[in-house]
């Protein structure tokens, strides 16, 4: 099974700041990587798929990049509603999720 | 807009079978544009994919769980189900039902949307 390692575990930032989240795969997942956002008490929500495609209704401040084993989710300017936990997921070899990065208010 | 809603017992005894149902509204589970899946989230927040079932009834389970998992469709009720046998405390988690896309404009082979989730605790 492909292991996805997310870093950092916690990111403490202020509204308006730029957030950069990392997801590293134990082997290449080509471009088959997605990002999900989860707020407390809610189910995960698809944000980005196929590395860089925003899901319907996702604001343009969210962007994804990378290929192979290294991927990045960038939030260009944090809004209050963006403070949440973010998970990456691959589907190249079976299906697996990363451990998550919590973006908290500094 | 499609909505998914899980239902089932919140408490299951060890060695018994966990049974959950996902009611789908706003879309037909018989549509060839989608497949239907179960994902669980442990109390420590880790996510684990369990398996999926296609509109045709074909299934694919995570290999490490395959010996204990059964999924099925009930097209008359527009719902699908999960059975997980021989449960232990390690199966305690929030269980989500989710939809996967097979045809555009849905995200192909990604999970969207998710049900709200249901907590299942395995304890005597």
Decide if pLDDT at B74 tops 90: yes
Running DSSP on this structure, what letter comes out for residue B103? S
pLDDT tens string A42-74: 999 999 999 999 999 999 999 999 999 999 999
CA neighbours closer than 13 Å in the CB half-sphere of residue B110: 27
Q: What is the average pLDDT across A90-99?
A: 94
Report cis status (omega within 30 of 0) of the bond before A8.
yes
Q: For A14-18, A76-80, B101-105, which range has the lowest pLDDT when averaged over its residues? A: B101-105
pLDDT of residue B108: 82
Residue A41, both tokens: 């008490």
The pLDDT confidence band at residue B67, using thresholds 50, 70 and 90, is very high
Over range B32-48, report the average pLDDT: 94
Q: How far is B112 from chain A (nearest CA, A)?
A: 6
DSSP string, B27-70: S-TT-TTEEEEEEEE-TT--EEEEEEEETTS-EEE-TTTTTTEE
- Cβ distance of B112 and A46 shorter than 8 Å: yes
Please judge whether B114 and A97 are an interchain contact, meaning their C-beta atoms are less than 8 angstroms apart: no
Residue A46's pLDDT is 97
B107 has pLDDT over 90:
no
Chain B's closest residue to A55, CA to CA, is B107
The more confident residue out of A93 and B80 is B80
């Amino acid at each position: 099974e492909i292991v996805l390692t997310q870093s950092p575990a916690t990111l403490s930032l202020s509204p308006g700041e730029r957030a950069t989240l990392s997801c590293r795969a134990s082997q290449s997942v080509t471009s088959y990587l997605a990002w999900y956002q989860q707020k407390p008490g809610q189910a995960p929500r698809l944000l980005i798929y196929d590395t860089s495609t925003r899901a319907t209704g996702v604001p343009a401040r969210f962007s994804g990049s990378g290929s192979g084993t290294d991927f990045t989710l960038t939030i260009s300017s944090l809004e209050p509603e963006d403070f949440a936990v973010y998970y990456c997921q691959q589907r190249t070899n079976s299906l697996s999720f990363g451990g998550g990065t919590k973006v908290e208010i500094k | 807009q499609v909505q998914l809603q899980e239902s089932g017992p919140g408490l299951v005894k060890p060695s018994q079978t966990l049974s959950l149902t996902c009611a789908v509204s706003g879309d037909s589970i018989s549509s060839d544009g989608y497949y239907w899946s179960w994902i669980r989230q442990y109390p420590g927040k880790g996510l684990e994919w369990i398996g999926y079932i296609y509109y045709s009834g074909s299934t694919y389970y995570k290999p490490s769980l395959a010996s204990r998992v059964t999924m099925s469709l009930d097209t008359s009720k527009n719902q699908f189900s999960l059975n997980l046998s021989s449960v232990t405390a390690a199966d305690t988690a929030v269980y989500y039902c989710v939809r996967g896309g097979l045809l555009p404009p849905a995200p192909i082979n990604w999970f969207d949307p998710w049900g709200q989730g249901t907590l299942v605790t395995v304890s005597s």
